[in-house]
Amino acid sequence: MDVTRLLAAHPVIDGHNDLLWEARAQAAYDFARLDVGTGGTPTHTDLPRMRAGGMGAQFWSVYVPTRLTGDDAVSATLEQVDAARHLTRTYADQLAWATTADEVEQAWAGGRMASLMGAEGGHSINCSLGTLRQLHELGVRYLTLTHNANTPWADSATDRPVAGGLTAFGREVVREMNRIGMMVDLSHVSADTMRAALEVAEAPVLFSHSSARAVTDSPRNVPDDVLEATAANNGVCMVTFVPKFVNPACADWQREMVAAAEAEGIPEADGVRFAPFETAWTVDHPQPPATLEDVVAHCEHVREVAGIEHIGLGGDYDGIEVLPAGLEDVSTYPALLGALADRGWSEDDLARLTCRNVLRVMREVEERAGELQATRGPSLARIEDLDGPPR
């Protein structure tokens, strides 16, 4: 199979990339200092390598850490949104702003890659549906309901459960996201939150960067019953490349580290204290290696359980330090596709994996939003009205 030719017709739409936070940390968003257009940057991502990887679109994560709360989280998210715009303007000869499936394909027709945005964590809306709507107005097209810590209305996969999934306000967040046409991202949330969101969802959901729990037992991965429910919902699971989510030995390593941190009173959800603990712990406990073959195993399992119509790719480049051997940066998607082709994946299968499934989900979310807006107006619900006083 000619993977290069296939990618020219069906380029990769990747669900999650943290280049913007790296640009903030390394260069205060100065793309003269971190010139991703020229390439050779100390990041996993630059435009020449995206081209080499057969990429056609990237959902840039407008992530902010959960140590930022309240209005501070909202302000930092807005700065990340501004950075996504700045990135796209700076390299307008290669990147085109996109908020719809049609605009993604228009970018391709013009020889450019599409820039899209997803917000990684419900803390970015500060429990405000008005803020949620304004992020959508600014172009954010998915919201991950939590990051590594719970929000007041949803449980995270890596925090102690409090809501038992979604609170009443959390269910209203999902309903309002469906009404405005913002995709519900269930990466990072607990399995009970996944199930609760799928119960209330009126449009397809996505996992922007998660893999299969049956293959690697990590709380960040998707159980088989949820993969089946995602297929019934017509959503998509975008397989990630994070070693501790795709390799069992790496997942065991992560569990050992989390237990060691908790023994010192540091929960994984406490990013301020856990990050330096992880850095120090890793010196004497190096992470085991993961490989491209681990990611292949997850792709095969998601296809088997959810079906070929419900799988995509979300590498999480620049959101982690170490990647699987063979998938070191954004230029390596052809190697993954070649490995899958060797296992019998057809050109149609690979086209669905790279972009067609995600474009379908985007279109269905857009269409469903139009239908819902014809039947109900903006939700004016407040968390204090639905969930009571803060706990």
Question: Which residue in this structure is represented by tokens 């809306």?
Answer: 125
Q: H-type helices in the chain, by residue range?
A: 3-9, 19-27, 47-52, 70-90, 101-109, 129-137, 168-180, 191-200, 224-233, 243-246, 248-263, 271-284, 292-306, 333-342, 347-351, 357-373, 383-387
Helix and strand counts by DSSP (H, E) for the chain:
17, 9
Q: Both tokens of residue 82?
A: 């501004």
* Options 14, 22, 46, 120, the catalytic residue: 120
Q: Is 147 a catalytic residue?
A: yes
Q: Is 86 a catalytic residue?
A: no
Rounded (10°) angle between helices 292-306 and 333-342: 60
Query: Exposed, middle or buried, 25 (CB in 10 Å: 0-12/13-18/19+)?
Result: exposed
Question: Which residue in this structure is represented by tokens 């391709």?
Answer: 108
* Options 172, 316, 329, 387, the catalytic residue: 316
What is the chain's alpha carbon radius of gyration, rounded to the nearest angstrom? 19
Q: Is 209 a catalytic residue?
A: yes
The residues, any chain, with a CB within 8 Å of residue 200's CB and separated by 6 or more, are 166, 171, 174, 175
CA distance 255 to 268: 10
* Options 44, 136, 188, 298, the catalytic residue: 188
Beta bridge partners of 166: 154
* Options 10, 44, 136, 147, the catalytic residue: 147
* CA trace torsion 224, 230, 236, 240 (10° rounding): -30
Q: Is 16 a catalytic residue?
A: yes
* Options 10, 14, 16, 349, the catalytic residue: 16
The number of residues in the chain equals: 391
Q: Is 301 a catalytic residue?
A: no
The residues, any chain, with a CB within 8 Å of residue 97's CB and separated by 6 or more, are 85, 88, 103, 114, 115, 139
Question: Which residue in this structure is represented by tokens 């990072």?
Answer: 188
Provide the 3-class DSSP secondary structure of residue 337. helix
Residues known to be catalytic: 16, 18, 120, 147, 188, 209, 316
